[in-house]
Amino acid sequence: MRTILCFGDSNTHGTIPMPTLDGLGRFGHEARWPSVMGAALGAGYEVINEGHPGRTTVLDDPMEGEHRSGVRVLPALLETHQPLDMVIIKLGTNDLKNCFHVSAADVAFFLDRLVRVVQGFDPAVRVLVVAPPPLLEVGCLAEMFAGGAAKSQGLAAAIKAMTDRMGVGFFDAGGVIKVSPVDGIHYEAGDQVALGHALAPVVRGMLDA
């Protein structure tokens, strides 16, 4: 059995696009991209969904709480779910909130730190970093992410440069899906499915290499 940990934010959690700030719904288990990917991979793979709404790479959120920082919780999750064959890191969108004032290049360096945490835990674990699609400044989250849309246009390239340097896997989610026009951050049901199907052969290829 090959075990894959999906470490992400609300879009890994399966949050439904939000028409209002209090509309935090969630797609059913089988409709979330990690579950779709797991079904596409088939027997012999265990896919663990560790998506947390609001999760950042390394930043302490002044409104949501320090527990939303990925670097704070990743070591515990690696220990909890070991042994692992792969960790998929899909973060970066929440770092582009206006309150953090960071660049796409900054986010790539933050992701570098998370990759190093995984490699320090077990150098044999394969790492795949998934760049999120560009965000939009629309709907109820527009003010929260003010300025983030322009920054997000350069995020995939910055992350790709980091993964090349680190020698780990890279996938650009923006090549297959887009964010919802409802809130500019989350994915519609069809995009959750599309991402899961797109990642399955990438994961299989990395683990079989």
Task: Please classify residue 199 by burial: count the beta carbons closer than 10 Å to its beta carbon, then call 0-12 exposed, 13-18 middle and 19+ buried.
Answer: buried
Average pLDDT of adjacent 10-residue blocks, the chain of 209 residues: 98 97 91 98 97 97 90 98 98 97 98 98 98 98 97 98 98 98 98 98 96
Angle at the Cα of 73 from the Cα atoms of 72 and 78, rounded to 5 degrees: 125
Task: Please classify residue 118 by burial: count the beta carbons closer than 10 Å to its beta carbon, then call 0-12 exposed, 13-18 middle and 19+ buried.
Answer: buried
Whole-number Cα distances in Å, 28 to 16, 34, 38, 176, 196? 10, 12, 14, 21, 14
In order of their start, the domains of the chain are 2-208 (3.40.50.1110)
pLDDT score recorded for residue 3: 98
Task: Please classify residue 190 by burial: count the beta carbons closer than 10 Å to its beta carbon, then call 0-12 exposed, 13-18 middle and 19+ buried.
Answer: exposed
Asked if 141 contacts 18 with a C-beta cutoff of 8 angstroms, the reply is: yes
Whole-number Cα distances in Å, 98 to 137, 146, 149, 159? 11, 5, 10, 20
pTM for the full predicted model: 0.97
pLDDT score recorded for residue 62: 86
pLDDT score recorded for residue 188: 98
